[in-house]
Structure 1
Amino acid sequence: MKKRRTPNVSRQMFFGIRAKPRFAFRKIMRTFETDFGGKKLKVEIDRMAELANGAALVRLGQTAVLATAVISKKMREGIDFFPLVVDYEERFYAAGRIKGSRFMKREGRASDEAILTSRLIDRGIRPRFDQRSRNEVQIVATALSFDNENDPDIAALIATSIALSISNIPFEGPISSVRIARLNGKLAFNPTYEERNASDFEILISGTEERINMIEAGAKEAKEEDVLEAIQKGMEELKKNIQFQKEIIAQVNPKKLALVLTESDSEFEANVKEFLKDKLENAIYEKTKLLREEKTALVKEGLANFLKEKYKELPESAKNERIKAADHLFDKEIDELVHKNIILLGKRPDGR
Structure 2
Amino acid sequence: MADAVVVSGTVTSGDGPDMRLETGKMAGLASGSVVARMGDTQVLVAATGARHVREGIDFFPLTVDVEERSYAAGKIPGSFFRREGRSSDHATLTCRLIDRPLRPSFPDGFRNEVHVVVTVQSADQKNPYDVLAINAASAALMISDVPFDGPIGAVRLAYTTDGEWLPHPTYAEGDESSFEIVVAGRQLDNGDIAVMMVEAGGTATQWMNGENGAPKVDEAALAEALKESEQYIKEAIALQNRLVEAVGGRKPVMDFVAQVDYTDEQMAAVTELGEARMVEVMSMADKAERGAAEGALKTEVLETLLPRFADGNPIAEKQLKAAFRSLSKAVVRRRIVNDGARIDGRGPSELRPLSAEVGVLPRVHGSGLFQRGETQVLNVTTLGMGRMDQMIDGIDPLERKKYMHHYNFPPFSTGETGFMRGPKRREIGHGLLAERALVPVIPSQEDWPYTLRLVSDVLTSNGSTSMASVCGSSLSLMDAGVPIKAPVAGIAMGLVYAEGKYTTLTDILGAEDAFGDMDFKVAGTSEFVTALQLDTKIDGIPADVLADALNQAKEARLAILAVMNEAISAPRAEVTEYAPKIISFEIPIDKIGEVIGPKGKVINAIQAETGANISVDDDGMVGIVSIASPDKTIVDEAERQIKLILDPPTADVGQTYPGKVVNITKFGAFVNILPGRDGLLHISKIGGGKRINKVEDVLELGQSVDVVVEDIDPNGKVSLRMAGDAACEKVQERAERA
Give the TM-score band, short-chain normalised.
Answer: 0.7 to 0.9
1:167 is paired with a residue whose SS is coil
Contact in 1 for aligned 2:26/2:33 (Cα 8 Å): yes
Asked if 1:95 is matched to 2:93, the reply is no
Asked if 1:142 is matched to 2:108, the reply is no
Cα-Cα RMSD:
2.7
In structure 2, the CA distance between the partners of 1:344 and 1:49, relative to structure 1 (3 Å rule), is closer
Contact in 1 for aligned 2:275/2:327 (Cα 8 Å): no
1:232-282 Cα deviation digits (max 9, x unpaired): 111111012101211111222122223211134112223444566465566
Gaps of 5+ in 2: 189-193, 207-215, 337-494, 510-555, 557-738
1:33 corresponds in structure 2 to 8
Matched residue pairs, number? Answer: 323
Write the mapping of 1:54-73 to structure 2, written as runs, cut at 5 A. Answer: 54-73=32-51
Identical pairs, percent: 34
| From 290, 298, 302, the counterpart of 1:295 | 290
In structure 2, the CA distance between the partners of 1:341 and 1:36, relative to structure 1 (3 Å rule), is closer
Write the mapping of 1:13-24 to structure 2, written as runs, cut at 5 A. Answer: none
In structure 2, the CA distance between the partners of 1:144 and 1:350, relative to structure 1 (3 Å rule), is closer
2:10 is paired with a residue whose SS is strand
CA separation in 2, counterparts of 1:350 and 1:325? 23
1:125 is paired with a residue whose SS is helix
Gaps of 5+ in 1: 1-25
| From 208, 212, 236, the counterpart of 2:195 | 212
Asked if 1:258 is matched to 2:255, the reply is yes
1:270 corresponds in structure 2 to 268
In structure 2, the CA distance between the partners of 1:92 and 1:233, relative to structure 1 (3 Å rule), is same
| From 234, 241, 249, the counterpart of 1:239 | 234
Asked if 1:249 is matched to 2:247, the reply is no
| Structure with the larger RCO, 1 or 2 (CA within 8 Å, 6+ apart) | 1
Asked if 1:48 is matched to 2:48, the reply is no
Contact in 1 for aligned 2:270/2:320 (Cα 8 Å): no
CA separation in 1, counterparts of 2:240 and 2:303? 50
In structure 2, the CA distance between the partners of 1:345 and 1:107, relative to structure 1 (3 Å rule), is closer
How far is the alpha carbon of 1:293 from its aligned partner?
4.8
CA separation in 1, counterparts of 2:276 and 2:137? 42
CA separation in 1, counterparts of 2:28 and 2:173? 37
CA separation in 2, counterparts of 1:312 and 1:223? 58
User: What letter matches 2:496 in structure 1?
Assistant: K
| From 80, 83, 89, the counterpart of 1:106 | 83
User: What letter matches 1:320 in structure 2?
Assistant: E
Asked if 1:161 is matched to 2:138, the reply is yes
User: What letter matches 1:216 in structure 2?
Assistant: E
CA separation in 2, counterparts of 1:281 and 1:83? 32
More divergent stretch after superposition (68-77 vs 333-342): 333-342
More divergent stretch after superposition (47-56 vs 245-254): 245-254
More divergent stretch after superposition (341-350 vs 108-117): 341-350
How far is the alpha carbon of 1:82 from its aligned partner?
1.3
More divergent stretch after superposition (128-137 vs 173-182): 128-137
CA separation in 2, counterparts of 1:118 and 1:271? 41
More divergent stretch after superposition (233-242 vs 214-223): 214-223
Instruction: Please identify which structure carries the higher helix content.
Output: 1
How far is the alpha carbon of 1:327 from its aligned partner?
6.2
How far is the alpha carbon of 1:350 from its aligned partner?
4.4
CA separation in 2, counterparts of 1:304 and 1:349? 30
CA separation in 1, counterparts of 2:296 and 2:324? 10
2:65 is paired with a residue whose SS is strand
1:64-89 Cα deviation digits (max 9, x unpaired): 01000111122211111112111111
1:157-207 Cα deviation digits (max 9, x unpaired): 111111110111111111111111111111111112222223222211111
User: What letter matches 1:131 in structure 2?
Assistant: D
Q: With structure 2 as the length reference, what TM-score do the two structures score? A: 0.41
Q: With structure 1 as the length reference, what TM-score do the two structures score? A: 0.82
Asked if 1:309 is matched to 2:304, the reply is yes
In structure 2, the CA distance between the partners of 1:306 and 1:41, relative to structure 1 (3 Å rule), is same
2:107 is paired with a residue whose SS is coil
Contact in 2 for aligned 1:69/1:138 (Cα 8 Å): yes
Contact in 2 for aligned 1:205/1:212 (Cα 8 Å): yes
User: What letter matches 1:213 in structure 2?
Assistant: M
1:26-72 Cα deviation digits (max 9, x unpaired): 43111111111233111111010001111000001211010001111
Write the mapping of 1:324-339 to structure 2, written as runs, cut at 5 A. Answer: 324-326=321-323, 329=326, 332-333=329-330, 336=333, 339=495
2:101 is paired with a residue whose SS is helix
1:75 is paired with a residue whose SS is coil
1:115-150 Cα deviation digits (max 9, x unpaired): 111111111111111131122111101100111122
CA separation in 2, counterparts of 1:225 and 1:246? 32
1:123 corresponds in structure 2 to 100
Instruction: Please identify which structure carries the higher strand content.
Output: 2
User: What letter matches 2:135 in structure 1?
Assistant: I
User: What letter matches 1:256 in structure 2?
Assistant: V
User: What letter matches 1:340 in structure 2?
Assistant: V
User: What letter matches 2:97 in structure 1?
Assistant: L
The structure with the largest alpha-carbon Rg is 2
Write the mapping of 1:77-96 to structure 2, written as runs, cut at 5 A. Answer: 77-96=55-74
